[in-house]
Amino acid sequence: MKQVIFFTAKWCTACQSFKPVVESVSKQVGVKLSNIDTDYDVSLVEQYNIKSVPTLIVLENGNEIKRLVGSQPENKVKELIIG
């Protein structure tokens, strides 16, 4: 089962404008979305080696299979998640 982790920050304007795209696509394709604020969940930031935000990570059966860094158009996000 796929899951999407969205690493974001409140101060990040790119993250705030990208968030509705990520939420929309995750609903369209039916995957669980977890929003992680990098300022508050440092352990996950370290675990996934997050260097910049926004970052999307797609997990399948708990393992990272794909990663996307930076704000992207809806079709790119869909392509990332669906495969």
Residue 10 belongs to a domain with what CATH number?
Answer: 3.40.30.10
**pLDDT, mean of residues 40-65:** 96
pTM of the model: 0.93
Q: Could you report the per-residue pLDDT of 11-26, keeping only the tens digit for each?
A: 999 999 999 999 999 9
**Considering 4, 5, 15, 50, which one is annotated as catalytic?**
15
Domain count, the chain: 1
Which residue in 12, 22, 53, 57 is the catalytic one? 12
Residue-range definition of the domain harbouring residue 37:
2-82
DSSP for the chain?
Answer: -EEEEEEE-TT-HHHHHHHHHHHHHHHHHT-EEEEEETTT-HHHHHHTT--SSSEEEEEETTEEEEEEES---HHHHHHHHH-
**Is residue 12 among the annotated active site residues?**
yes
